[in-house]
């Protein structure tokens, strides 16, 4: 095969391999982004769940405080009634001591209830806000993920077509070069690359000056002495 024709096929392979690389990068980017959106969403959900559980915990505590207040108040009433029929001074003093103890306990319980009620308003607001945030992010994130999923589907199709094109071009090469390109593609993401300022774009090995010139002429087949990739000039199209 005329080296010029062979070179032209390699030039086309290089173009397709670049497209393939870009499409695969976009696919990876989509996958990474989907993953981080999902992670962010579970963080939002965890925050909302925590706020809800704190709010629920405050409700439960408040309920048991109310029960205790009722019990202590009833006990207080009983003790105050007991006092009415008592004549023994020692007994009177003992009941009076109990009554002041109960009153003290009632005061403390009421203080606790008031401060918890204040706190509960805040907890309730936080729980609501957190849930709203989580829902809003969820909706946005879902829409974004749907777009990315359809992008990814299109990209996957594109990748398949490019691979078919590369395969078709490889089959047009003479067997020796065809096998060499195939082997390189098994190991590396690109079998045919360009050079930039005399450096192989596959492994960045600096090529001897003569080799760079030979690549640009397109009249001989040049391979990088370091990574063995085929080197071609950019498409003239």
**Smallest gap from residue 194 Cβ to Zn ion (A):** 11
The one among 62, 69, 116, 203 contacting Zn ion by CB under 5 A: 203
Element (DSSP H or E) covering residue 29: helix 3-84
212 part of the interface to Zn ion, by CB under 5 A: no
Q: CB-based burial of residue 118 (10 Å sphere; 0-12 exposed, 13-18 middle, 19+ buried)?
A: exposed
CA separation, residue 23 to residues 30, 108, 114, 154, 200 (Å): 11, 69, 62, 10, 22
27 part of the interface to Zn ion, by CB under 5 A: no
215 part of the interface to Zn ion, by CB under 5 A: no
**Smallest gap from residue 224 Cβ to Zn ion (A):** 3
200 part of the interface to Zn ion, by CB under 5 A: yes
**Smallest gap from residue 230 Cβ to Zn ion (A):** 10
202 part of the interface to Zn ion, by CB under 5 A: yes
CA–CA separation, 237 vs 235, rounded Å?
5
Closer to Zn ion at the Cβ: 44 or 230?
A: 230
The two three-digit tokens of residue 102, written as one number: 């109960």
Size of the site for Zn ion (CB under 5 A): 7
C-alpha neighbours within 13 Å on the C-beta side of residue 114: 6
Residues binding Zn ion (CB under 5 A): 200, 202-203, 205, 224, 226-227
């Amino acid at each position: 095969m005329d080296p010029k024709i062979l070179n032209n096929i390699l030039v086309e392979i290089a173009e397709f391999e670049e497209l393939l690389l870009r499409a695969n990068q976009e696919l990876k980017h989509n996958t990474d982004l989907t993953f981080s959106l999902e992670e962010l969403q579970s963080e939002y959900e965890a925050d909302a769940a925590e706020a809800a559980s704190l709010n629920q915990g405050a409700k439960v505590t408040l309920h048991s405080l109310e029960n205790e207040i009722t019990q202590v108040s009833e006990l207080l009433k009983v003790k105050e009634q007991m006092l009415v029929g008592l004549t023994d001074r020692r007994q009177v003093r003992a009941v009076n001591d109990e009554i002041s103890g109960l009153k003290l306990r009632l005061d403390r319980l009421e203080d606790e209830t008031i401060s918890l009620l204040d706190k509960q308003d805040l907890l309730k607001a936080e729980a609501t806000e957190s849930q709203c945030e989580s829902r809003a992010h969820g909706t946005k994130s879902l829409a974004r993920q749907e777009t990315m999923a359809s992008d990814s589907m299109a990209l996957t199709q594109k990748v398949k077509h490019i691979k078919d094109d590369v395969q078709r071009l490889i089959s047009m090469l003479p067997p020796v070069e065809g096998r060499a390109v195939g082997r390189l593609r098994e190991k590396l993401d690109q079998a045919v690359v360009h050079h930039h300022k005399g450096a192989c774009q596959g492994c960045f090995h600096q090529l001897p000056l003569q080799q760079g010139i030979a690549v640009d002429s397109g009249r001989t087949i040049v391979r990088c002495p370091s990574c063995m990739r085929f080197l071609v000039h950019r498409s003239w199209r």
